[in-house]
Amino acid sequence: MNAAEIREMLINALNPTYERKFGWTPSKNVYNISSLTHGTKAFLAMRSREPMKGFNRHLVRGSAIDELVKVRLEEWDSSNDNVLKWTLPYTWKNPTLHDILLIGHYDLFKDDTILEVKAPESEERFIQNGSMLRARRQVAAYAMMKGLKIGKWIRAFVVTINSDILVSELSRDEIEQGWQDIRKTAYDVARELDN
């Protein structure tokens, strides 16, 4: 191997695409929750552009912290194999497509509690740029999907780790609203893609 090949190998290992990391194939009727948190227009714009290539230190830093938390909390369920799936009924103009499939991967789950871990470099910027709102929608959707599957209410928390560890619990109303927002965005995306 030469230096360029080693660099490419490291980039692919440290910054895999969502599709490669979780074995997800994009299609008109399959949407990942974390992308839906951005809203319809942003979701469609992200879907239509080329995947980011190269080294993203923010993503690598966040992934490293996320993985460390998962390793240290051994008693929590944190496997990347834990795919949450939820089907929303939808009739497509294309008869080969059926419904809308929402997919997601929670960070940590134990008993009746689900955690979404984020590692912003600036808590203030994380809140100002809407990342906290998106994290709250994301964990709300995961809590509802998991709860509906197992038949009990799931508590949801966003954990941010930078110079300190801050834990923010969502209220029951916030969880229900976040789930409603994700479903609405999924239907809006489907209608746009179906035209």
Nearest to 161 by CA among 195, 115, 193, 194: 115
Q: Check whether 52 has a pLDDT greater than 70.
A: no
Residues 143-152 as b/e (b if ≥16 CB within 10 A, e otherwise) read bbbbbeeeee
Q: Helix, strand or coil for residue 166?
A: strand
| Boundaries of every domain in the chain | 3-194
CATH topology of domain 3-194: Lambda Exonuclease; Chain A (3.90.320)
Q: Residues 6 or more apart from 74 whose CB is under 8 A from it?
A: none
pTM here is: 0.89
Whether the CB-CB separation of 179 and 138 falls below 8 Å is answered with no
pLDDT of residue 18: 59
Phi first, then psi, for residue 11 (nearest 5°) are -60, -45
Give 151-165 pLDDT, tens digit per residue: 999 999 999 999 899
Q: Render pLDDT for 157-193 as a digit per residue (tens, 0 to 9).
A: 999 999 899 999 999 999 999 999 999 999 999 999 9
Taking the CA atoms of 78, 80, 85 and 91 in sequence, report the sign of the dihedral they define. Answer: positive
Question: What Å distances lie between residue 11 and 3, 21, 57, 60, CA to CA?
Answer: 12, 13, 10, 9
Alpha helices by DSSP H, the chain: 3-14, 18-22, 33-36, 40-48, 57-72, 123-128, 131-150, 172-194
Are 120 and 126 a contacting pair, CB within 8 Å?
Answer: yes
How far apart (Å, rounded) are the C-alpha atoms in residues 154 and 18?
25
Chain segment 81-139, per-residue pLDDT in tens:
788 999 999 999 999 999 999 999 999 999 999 999 999 988 899 999 999 999 999 99
